[in-house]
């Protein structure tokens, strides 16, 4: 794909970010779209404020919508265009979805400087051993959960993903 096509799609993501943050005020200045074979499959805007959902990021909306549109949980051959560098959650979702490439406009530093969006504490927490993180992880009832996992392991018709 030519550079001008990437710029066109990235400009659309920026346009969606302006709608989310400035026009509709549904959340931060974030917009995203998924493209496959040069065609837009889905679009997303940040809706954290409107939905009262901290996970409703533009990238997450675009990924969810693309999976529904393409009727598959993997987005092989798809490209994510986003108005800003993805946060840890959205980047992880890209890996889960099998997206091969991400084009972004604003940097993490821009999002912090102009919008006070600071993902550094999340990156710092994820780098720590589980025992040192601020959110305490408490394991309980492992044997009961393991029983279900073993049944799942033996299930002959499970779909691997």
Instruction: Find, among 8, 82, 71, the residue nearest to 39 by Cα.
Output: 8
Q: Which of 43, 59, 61, 109 is catalytic?
A: 59
Q: How far apart are the first and last CA of the chain?
A: 28
160 sits in the region (left: phi over 0; alpha: psi -120 to 50; else beta) called beta
Helix axes 88-97, 58-70, angle to 10 degrees: 20
Cα torsion 151, 149, 139, 73 to 10°: value is -140
SS3 112: helix
Answer yes or no: 59 catalytic: yes
Cα-based distances in Å from 11 to 61, 136, 155: 18, 41, 46
- Between CA 40 and CA 7 the distance in angstroms is 13
Active centre residues (catalytic)? 59
């Amino acid at each position: 794909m030519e550079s001008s096509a990437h710029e066109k799609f990235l400009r659309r993501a920026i346009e969606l970010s302006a709608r989310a943050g400035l026009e509709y005020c549904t959340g931060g200045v974030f917009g995203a779209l998924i493209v496959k074979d040069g065609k837009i499959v889905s679009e997303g805007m940040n809706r954290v404020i409107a939905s009262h959902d901290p996970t409703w990021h533009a990238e997450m909306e675009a990924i969810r919508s693309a999976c529904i549109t393409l009727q598959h949980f993997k987005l092989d051959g798809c490209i994510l265009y986003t108005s800003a560098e993805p946060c840890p959650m959205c980047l992880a979702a890209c890996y889960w979805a099998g997206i091969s490439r991400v084009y972004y406009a604003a940097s993490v530093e821009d999002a912090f400087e102009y919008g006070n969006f600071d993902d550094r504490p999340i990156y710092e927490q994820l780098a720590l051993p589980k025992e040192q993180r601020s959110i305490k992880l408490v394991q309980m009832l492992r044997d009961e959960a393991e029983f279900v996992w073993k049944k799942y392991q033996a299930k002959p018709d499970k779909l691997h993903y």
